[in-house]
Structure 1
Amino acid sequence: MTNNGANSKYVKKRNRITVLNLIKEHGPIGRQELAQITGLTPPAITGIIRELLELGLVHEDGYGESRGGRRPVKLTFNSKAGYVIGVEVTRGETTVGVADLMNDPTDIARYPLDMSEPAAGLASLAELLRRIMNDEGKQGRSFVGVGIAFPGLVQAKTGTVQRSVNLGPAWRSYPLQEKLEDVLGLPVFIENNSNACVLAERWFGGGVCCRDLVYVNLGEGISAGVILDDRIVQGFQGYAGEIGHIVIDESGPQCNCGNHGCLEALCSVPALIKQARRDLPGLADGDPLKARWQSSGDIELADLLAVAQPGTYANALLSRAVHWIGRAVAAVINLYNPEAVFLGGQLAGAMARFEPILRDAVAAHAFPEIASATRIAFSALGEYPGVIGACALALKGLLHLPEARLLDAHLE
């Protein structure tokens, strides 16, 4: 037995979101053109446009050329009809930005939130987002959704965080989306941070012309977001892309996941700093990294990069890490045959000088016929790819089927 009511509601949503996206992508555009493209009748188009005008999602914007009779009224998408919040959660801080419906992000800022414990983290995050929404609301901005790029295993369909080895052991099967929606009263969309970044790369970065691409996120953790045939690869449980837990060296250090010698335990930013701190006492007194350590009492990634000249400990440490990352990129190329692989994250931004090492490792370990057709590039999304990706997640859930939740309240 079919549910005709549910089917009718879905068709109504599909038609309206299709027309809205056509105006968004091709506007200014007239009603007759929309009818021709969609196959909907002119009266149906007229009714849909009337609703979209009433909602403020589109507006009439001048006239087209007449082909006999009255000049057609052109329609354009109102990108300021609503705003989304993009959130990138990391171990030490949470970065938040606001974007309009064309994902033009503004007001991006970092906040020192402790997200190691779910309930307390939820309360802190909700308080922060309410404050931002209130401040932005004073400027006349109305919010329609929230996107979150989250580190760890995320079931995107339910918004459940299954596990986050980077945030801590307390994150187990936590329904973050449901709880945050209850608090904020807005649609919330959650994805693994690398999936958010690959979506941003596909829509707004170097992958705008690619239907098959991979984004390798090199930061506090290491993971990959994969798009094949223009769809994010989720995997059976939604956890695809955890390349940071490929074992590189079985005798290597223990990873937060419990294994030994994972790529993440060897090459992530925290792993590199931890290794350097462990090795510092044994370095020769003339080593520039040791000199920095003795002067400041500690080191960070910036210190490693500043002194990584040929013949130094820092150069050897980073060169080895880049080689291992190159081997992982080769594995990704062999597995997915992507058109392009983009490297992003905190470490990627500092890897340009080591690019020959990366490419040599890829050439040595990737299948030649596959690798020769794959473009490898550093992401040009800038400092906040996670926030751009989180905003993109919200827009995807609001403006694209099957969810298209922007119109839900108006289709009841």
Structure 2
Amino acid sequence: MKSPGNSKYVKKLNRMTIVNIIKENELISRQQLAELTGLTPPAITGIIRELIDTGFVKEVGLGESQGGRRPVSLQFNSEAGYVIGIEITSQEITVALADLKNMPTSIQRMKVAMKDPNAAVKELIHIINQVIFHKEHKSKKFLGIAIAFPGMLHGQEGTVKRAVNLGKEWNGFPLKSILENEFAMPVFIETNSKVAALGEKWFGGGTSCENLIYINMGEGISAGIIMGECIVQGSQGYAGQIGHTVMIEQGALCNCGNRGCLETICGIPAILRKVNAELPFIAGEDALKKYLGSGKEIGIKDLLEVAFKEESYAREVLRQANRYVALATSHMINLYNPDAVFIGGKLAMVAEFFREEFREVIASHTFSEVEDATAIVISKLGADSGVIGACALALKKILKTPNTEIFDEIVDDREQKYKG
């Protein structure tokens, strides 16, 4: 005999299944839903009634007849709700808006000092309120907020475990609970590279990939791993931390406390420290030296501009960083055997520029049949991969997780209105 709890879960699961079938089909009938799910017509009718009443599904005319009356066609209403996606980095906050089906829009970036978590979150709350209360969004129903965060988190709590690129002040910071209390809606938080991998799976080049890896090349180096529909987490959420794989024994000290981590070679701060320290002592003429007399340190844009223009010290620095990232990528391929590896982040264009060398390193360190079968793809989501992935995370939690309470809350609201 099924317990009431089990029955409630089964109902949630059935509702989630039906929503996603309707979402994935332009038009579909109740009869087709019954055939695809094995649910009885009365069960289908009850669930569809709820979904129509709550706005997630709409009736849009008559479909093709298979004999007898023409069935009423159903369509997913992508504008029934909206989600807000956010990416946090050490220097800025990026925010985007997405409906329940389409590519996120209205992507905006704002420079924000992140050292003090309380001040940073105060600014974040202001940014979210600007989105919610924008004059064009007054009629929109917001269902959730998701954040791509540059650090490790305590599971479902959304409390910061460690964020080496933001600072120790963030350790233990209850980011999720603060935002949920402020906005009275679900808040989902996940590590940025894992979120970016999800963005590739939902909106990027990975829609047809069963298994994929996303490598983030930016301030830090990290990986997001998708196997089937699942983000690989590891027992404590540390899966994919390739930036803290030791590549050089007794190398430079990393923010994590170890020495010789990949991030100490290939992360943007490490690259710029190396360049600004070494360039004055480089013999002969070099295009990068024109920046020395400007009174400011060389930035990543300066470095990329020179490296892509001509053979130079800048190009050699980036070539070396590229080879180390390629070596780390080969380790990931050997471990997970993905269909594709997507390279994204602020330095993805480095892997694109040195594409042949990147592929050569992988070929030298993987089985030939595995290397041949693994696509290496520069992400077309570009610098927006994190914020787009955050929108994908919110949609996945809302539309594909039976335990998410959002549908229940909306249905309960409807029933209360009817009782009133």
TM-score range, shorter chain: over 0.9
Q: Which residue of 1 aligns with 2:416?
A: none
Counterpart-to-counterpart distance in 1, 2:94 and 2:268: 18
How far the C-alpha of 1:349 sits from its partner, in A, is 2.5
Q: Deviations over 1:135-157 (max 9, x none)?
A: 15654222110010001112343
Specify the SS of the correspondent of 1:84. strand
Q: Which residue of 2 aligns with 1:409?
A: 409
Most deviating of 325-334 and 296-305: 296-305
Whether the 8 Å CA contact 2:218–2:267 is kept in 1: the answer is yes
Distance 1:208 1:136, change over 3 A: farther
> What letter matches 1:184 in structure 2?
F
Most deviating of 51-60 and 400-409: 400-409
Q: Deviations over 1:35-59 (max 9, x none)?
A: 1111111111111111111111111
Q: Deviations over 1:177-226 (max 9, x none)?
A: 22211111011111100110101111221111111110000011110000
Q: How does 1:42-121 map to 2 (within 5 A)?
A: 42-121=41-120
Q: How does 1:319-338 map to 2 (within 5 A)?
A: 319-338=319-338
Counterpart-to-counterpart distance in 2, 1:27 and 1:16: 18
How far the C-alpha of 1:174 sits from its partner, in A, is 2.8
Whether the 8 Å CA contact 1:162–1:173 is kept in 2: the answer is yes
Counterpart-to-counterpart distance in 1, 2:243 and 2:135: 38
Whether the 8 Å CA contact 1:81–1:101 is kept in 2: the answer is yes
Quick check: 1:353 aligned with 2:353?
A: yes
Counterpart-to-counterpart distance in 2, 1:295 and 1:289: 12
Counterpart-to-counterpart distance in 2, 1:39 and 1:3: 19
Whether the 8 Å CA contact 2:342–2:377 is kept in 1: the answer is yes
Counterpart-to-counterpart distance in 2, 1:410 and 1:8: 19
Quick check: 1:243 aligned with 2:248?
A: no
Q: TM-score, normalised by structure 2?
A: 0.93
Distance 1:136 1:406, change over 3 A: farther
Q: Which residue of 2 aligns with 1:364?
A: 364
Q: Which residue of 2 aligns with 1:386?
A: 386
How far the C-alpha of 1:23 sits from its partner, in A, is 0.8
Q: TM-score, normalised by structure 1?
A: 0.95
Q: How does 1:200-279 map to 2 (within 5 A)?
A: 200-279=199-278
Q: How does 1:305-320 map to 2 (within 5 A)?
A: 305-308=304-307, 311-320=311-320
Counterpart-to-counterpart distance in 1, 2:77 and 2:229: 26
Most deviating of 389-398 and 165-174: 165-174
Distance 1:186 1:137, change over 3 A: farther
Specify the SS of the correspondent of 1:276. helix
Whether the 8 Å CA contact 2:100–2:395 is kept in 1: the answer is yes
Q: Which residue of 2 aligns with 1:21?
A: 20
Q: Which residue of 1 aligns with 2:341?
A: 341
Most deviating of 51-60 and 61-70: 61-70
Q: Deviations over 1:114-149 (max 9, x none)?
A: 232333322221222122211156542221100100
Q: How does 1:298-309 map to 2 (within 5 A)?
A: 298-308=297-307
- How many residue pairs match? The answer is 411
Counterpart-to-counterpart distance in 2, 1:405 and 1:149: 22
Query: What is the RMSD computed on CA atoms of the aligned residues?
Result: 1.8
Counterpart-to-counterpart distance in 1, 2:124 and 2:408: 25
Distance 1:81 1:37, change over 3 A: same
Counterpart-to-counterpart distance in 2, 1:4 and 1:411: 21
Distance 1:108 1:298, change over 3 A: same
Distance 1:123 1:295, change over 3 A: closer
Distance 1:371 1:303, change over 3 A: same
Distance 1:138 1:356, change over 3 A: closer
Counterpart-to-counterpart distance in 2, 1:100 and 1:230: 21
Counterpart-to-counterpart distance in 1, 2:356 and 2:364: 12
How far the C-alpha of 1:315 sits from its partner, in A, is 1.3
Counterpart-to-counterpart distance in 1, 2:4 and 2:117: 39
Most deviating of 340-349 and 244-253: 244-253
Counterpart-to-counterpart distance in 1, 2:8 and 2:237: 28
How far the C-alpha of 1:352 sits from its partner, in A, is 1.9
Specify the SS of the correspondent of 1:338. coil
Most deviating of 311-320 and 392-401: 311-320
Most deviating of 3-12 and 61-70: 3-12
Q: Which residue of 1 aligns with 2:166?
A: 167
How far the C-alpha of 1:172 sits from its partner, in A, is 1.7
Most deviating of 65-74 and 237-246: 65-74
Counterpart-to-counterpart distance in 2, 1:161 and 1:231: 22
- For structure 2, the residue ranges without an aligned partner over 5 or more in a row are 413-420
Whether the 8 Å CA contact 1:337–1:370 is kept in 2: the answer is yes
Whether the 8 Å CA contact 1:222–1:264 is kept in 2: the answer is yes
How far the C-alpha of 1:8 sits from its partner, in A, is 2.2
Whether the 8 Å CA contact 1:154–1:239 is kept in 2: the answer is no
Most deviating of 58-67 and 387-396: 58-67
Counterpart-to-counterpart distance in 2, 1:105 and 1:230: 20
